[in-house]
């Protein structure tokens, strides 16, 4: 569903992403790990066509993102590290707006409210203006937006950053449900626990290169942490 | 947590118009909830209402006073009793310029030029009673008209509510969200512009409708109702293009700038340049390129030229030459033998020669004013105020061209009086030196002076270039906005 073929991004002398080859199948959660500047967000940005690849291709369901961005975006939902919404609109109005832009139809308020509740937002918070929301509450609206899109692929950029443990746990459960529905999920994260818990496969990036890739069922938590620290920072795990 | 919806399916695309409408709806909702708009918009609404009502009340009062003064002046003309027609011509009348119906929307040059002219024999007088000269300096601060709100305050409001239209999306991170759902930057621009257009309509349409309602409740306008409607519509179009251009500029700058602060500084700088600096600077440039003589120089040149005329001087060589030509034309050797009154003929001839001198000097002055107007208008491609101001004044009937039209009509009337008085004397006054007096029937043969504003179509004929310049400016700004918005990136 999500595929990178020799995907490369260079900024002048800086190689942000070097010949990334990656496939995320339907019903798979692929976790991209790596330190800051490893190329994780660059990968997400390339799949979203926010930046143009220097060479190589990123495809979604066989559609080249750079060549046919609108068609490709129709297949993708995206949750950034911090879901940013319109403060003067309520949670449900934000969801209504983004889902209408994405789906082309106005969904009934009851349906939207149900999505917000599914994403973990308290029903009484839905009609309140987002300017009063916590980061976690905004993240839940972002999740509801992604769910409303009913997309075939989901791109997540550090989605649990700043969420409390309970919200992160709820989020992991939602990811599991999406996986079972056949959604291909590509998630960048620093959260090794989340990667091990929800991921099907893990890739560790280092200076723009996918340095390692393996199934989460082949390593335990300690081993995953050791490999991650080794590749990311050149240190041995304690 | 309950189950998520069923299997994922391809998402249909929202048609571009639907996408734009959705964006516009959300933008408009945000605008209405924006505290900046509530305060600034509320203040502007109060100012507009005040300007409209005060302007209307002042114009009505002025119109009544001028009509009364005009009537009095004509009654005085009629009530001269028996006297020599030439003395009556010297006695003359006052012509008062009626207030244009839309002058309360844009008083234009009215406060700076006179509203009345004394029409007397031999002399084309200047206009008197300039409100700006007669007013105290404090009064000038109190002169608030709706054109100021539309020309100066409304663009500021647009800048204040739109400077962060795109920078804000980028800074908040909502731009990533929007682009990720397949919104195209150009659709975002059109959606935002549509929402702002609705706001502009609120700024322009209600005051214009109020003005129309006020005008149609009053009977006498010196123009017909259709013409008022035409002028108002054309004025509205000019302001709509101007404010839409400002909105596009604000959106474009917001898309081009890296931060909201930078966008605000750029836009405020342009607003100051356009509204305050450029009009003065352009006027100075126009005055340098096409200099007008000072009032003293003009009068001195006129006096000098008029020395070629004989006036009442019977020893003037021109007088002697004219007398000889008249005697030769009638085949007599003495003035006393002429079948017509020579004194009246000579005065008439002096007037005719004077008309040519006045026409030449005022015509030259008018040509310079027109050239200055042309130069000023050209700057409208960069600073739209330079094209909007003359357009607005022209549609309100308060520009220099319509002042000149009134001056020309008044002068025509003055000459008719002179001709009628001279013709009567030529026919009736004996050449034996005895005095001739005419009665009220002669004064009554002169109809009261009436002036009607030029038709909207003829004003448009003179002003189309300013509208074209405004449209060119707005199109350029639209192109700029579209270009920068297409390059919009979320990071």
Each residue's pLDDT tens digit, B30-45? 988 888 788 888 888 8
The domain of B185 spans 17-285+383-486
Across the interface, which of A89, A104, A183 has its CB nearest the CB of B13?
Answer: A104
Residues A165 and A134 occupy one common structural domain: no
Task: Tell me what pLDDT residue B109 has.
Answer: 86
Using a CB-CB cut-off of 8 Å, the residues of chain A touching B33 are 88
Distance CA B160, CA B250 (A): 9
Residues A142 and A161 occupy one common structural domain: no
- pLDDT category of residue B223 using cuts at 50, 70 and 90: low
**Residue carrying the six token digits 């030529």:** B426
Q: Which residues of chain A have pLDDT under 50?
A: 236-238
Higher pLDDT, B228 or B141: B228
Q: Is residue B300 part of a domain?
A: no
Q: Is residue B163 part of a domain?
A: yes
- Which of A15-29, B136-150, B429-443 has the least mean pLDDT? B136-150
Q: Is residue B314 part of a domain?
A: no
Across the interface, which of A84, A98, A181 has its CB nearest the CB of B172?
Answer: A84
Number of domains chain A contains? 2
Which residues touch B212 (CB under 8 Å, ≥6 apart)?
B228, B229, B232
pLDDT tens digits for range B252-276 = 999 999 899 999 999 999 999 999 9
CB atoms near residue A183 (< 10 Å): 26
Q: Is residue B406 part of a domain?
A: yes
Q: What is the ipTM of this complex?
A: 0.84
pLDDT tens digits for range B53-88 = 888 888 888 888 888 999 999 999 999 888 888 888
Q: Is residue B125 part of a domain?
A: yes
Distance CA A222, CA B199 (A): 60
Is A50's CB within 8 Å of B176's CB? yes
Residues A216 and A157 occupy one common structural domain: yes
Q: Is residue A81 part of a domain?
A: no
Q: Is residue A219 part of a domain?
A: yes
Interface of B with A in 12-41 (CB under 8 A): 12-15, 18-19, 22-23, 26, 29-30, 33-34
Q: Which residues of B54-64 are buried (b: 16+ CB within 10 A; e: fewer)?
A: bbbebbeebbe
Look at chain A and count its residues. 238
Q: Is residue A238 part of a domain?
A: no
Using a CB-CB cut-off of 8 Å, the residues of chain B touching A24 are none
Is B146 in contact with B108 (CB distance < 8 Å)?
A: no
Name the DSSP letter for residue A105. S
- Which of A164-173, B292-301, B380-389, B469-478 has the least mean pLDDT? A164-173
Is B11's CB within 8 Å of A93's CB? no
Is A202 in contact with A40 (CB distance < 8 Å)?
A: no
Q: Which two tokens stand for residue B36?
A: 């900046």
The domain of A180 spans 2-75+151-233
Using a CB-CB cut-off of 8 Å, the residues of chain B touching A170 are 1
Number of domains chain B contains? 1
């Amino acid at each position: 569903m999500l595929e990178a073929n020799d995907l490369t991004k260079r900024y002048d002398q800086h190689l942000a992403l070097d010949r990334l080859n990656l496939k995320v199948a339907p019903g798979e959660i692929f976790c991209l790990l790596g330190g800051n500047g490893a190329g994780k967000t660059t990968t997400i940005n390339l799949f979203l066509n926010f930046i143009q690849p220097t060479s190589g291709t990123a495809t979604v369901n066989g559609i080249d993102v750079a060549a046919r961005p609108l068609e490709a975006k129709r297949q993708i939902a995206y949750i950034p590290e911090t879901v940013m919404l319109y403060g003067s609109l309520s949670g449900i109005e934000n969801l209504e707006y983004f889902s209408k832009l994405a789906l082309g139809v106005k969904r009934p308020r009851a349906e939207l409210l149900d999505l917000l509740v599914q994403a973990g937002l308290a029903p009484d918070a839905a009609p309140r203006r987002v300017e009063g929301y916590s980061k976690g509450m905004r993240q839940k609206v972002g999740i509801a937006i992604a769910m409303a899109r009913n997309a075939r692929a989901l791109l997540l950029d550090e989605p649990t950053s700043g969420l409390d443990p309970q919200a992160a746990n709820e989020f992991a459960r939602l990811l599991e449900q999406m996986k079972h529905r056949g959604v291909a999920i590509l998630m960048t994260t620093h959260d090794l626990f989340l990667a091990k818990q929800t991921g099907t496969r893990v890739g560790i990036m280092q200076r723009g290169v996918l340095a390692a890739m393996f199934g989460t069922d082949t390593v335990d938590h300690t081993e995953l942490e050791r490999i991650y620290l080794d590749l990311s920072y050149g240190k041995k795990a304690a | 947590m309950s189950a998520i919806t069923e299997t994922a399916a391809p998402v249909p695309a929202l048609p571009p118009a639907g996408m734009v409408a959705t964006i516009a709806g959300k933008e408009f909702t945000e605008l209405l909830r924006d505290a900046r708009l509530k305060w600034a918009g509320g203040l502007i609404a109060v100012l507009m209402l005040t300007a409209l009502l005060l302007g209307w009340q002042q114009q009505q009062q002025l119109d009544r006073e001028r009509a009364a003064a005009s009537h009095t002046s004509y009654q005085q003309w009629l009530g001269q009793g028996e006297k020599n027609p030439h003395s009556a011509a010297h006695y003359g009348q006052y012509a008062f310029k009626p207030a244009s119906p839309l002058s309360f929307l844009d008083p234009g040059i009215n406060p700076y030029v006179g509203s009345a002219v004394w029409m007397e024999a031999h002399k084309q007088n200047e206009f008197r009673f300039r409100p700006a000269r007669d007013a105290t300096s404090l009064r000038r601060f109190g002169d608030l008209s709706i054109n100021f709100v539309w020309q100066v305050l409304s663009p500021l409001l647009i800048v204040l509510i739109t400077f962060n239209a795109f920078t804000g999306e980028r800074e908040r991170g909502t731009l990533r969200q929007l682009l990720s759902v397949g919104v195209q930057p150009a659709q975002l621009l059109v959606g935002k512009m549509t929402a702002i257009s609705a706001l502009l309509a609120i700024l322009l349409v209600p005051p214009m409708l109020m003005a129309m309602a006020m005008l149609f409740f009053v009977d006498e306008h010196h123009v017909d109702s259709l013409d008022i409607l035409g002028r108002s519509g054309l004025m509205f179009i000019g302001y709509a293009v101007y404010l839409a251009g400002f909105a596009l500029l604000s959106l474009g700058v917001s898309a081009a700038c890296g931060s909201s602060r930078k966008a605000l500084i750029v836009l405020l700088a342009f607003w100051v340049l356009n509204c305050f600096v450029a009009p003065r600077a352009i006027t100075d440039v126009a005055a340098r390129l096409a200099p007008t003589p000072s009032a003293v120089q003009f009068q001195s040149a006129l006096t000098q030229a008029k020395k070629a005329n004989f006036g009442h001087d019977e020893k003037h060589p021109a007088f002697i030459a004219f007398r000889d030509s008249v005697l030769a034309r009638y085949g007599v050797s003495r003035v006393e033998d002429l079948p017509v009154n020579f004194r009246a003929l000579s005065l008439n001839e002096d007037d005719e020669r004077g008309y040519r001198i006045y026409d030449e000097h005022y015509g030259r002055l008018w040509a310079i004013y027109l050239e200055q107007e042309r130069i000023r208008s050209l700057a409208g491609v960069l600073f739209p105020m330079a094209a909007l101001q003359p357009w607005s004044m022209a549609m309100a009937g308060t520009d220099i061209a319509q002042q000149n039209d009134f001056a020309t009509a008044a002068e025509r009337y003055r000459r008719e009086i002179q001709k009628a008085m001279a013709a009567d004397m030529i026919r009736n006054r004996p050449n034996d030196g005895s005095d001739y007096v005419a009665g009220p029937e002669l004064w009554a043969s002169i109809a009261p002076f009436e002036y009607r504003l030029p038709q909207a179509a003829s004003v448009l004929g003179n002003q189309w270039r300013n509208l074209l310049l405004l449209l060119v400016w707005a199109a350029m700004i639209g192109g700029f906005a579209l270009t920068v918005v297409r390059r919009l990136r979320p990071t």
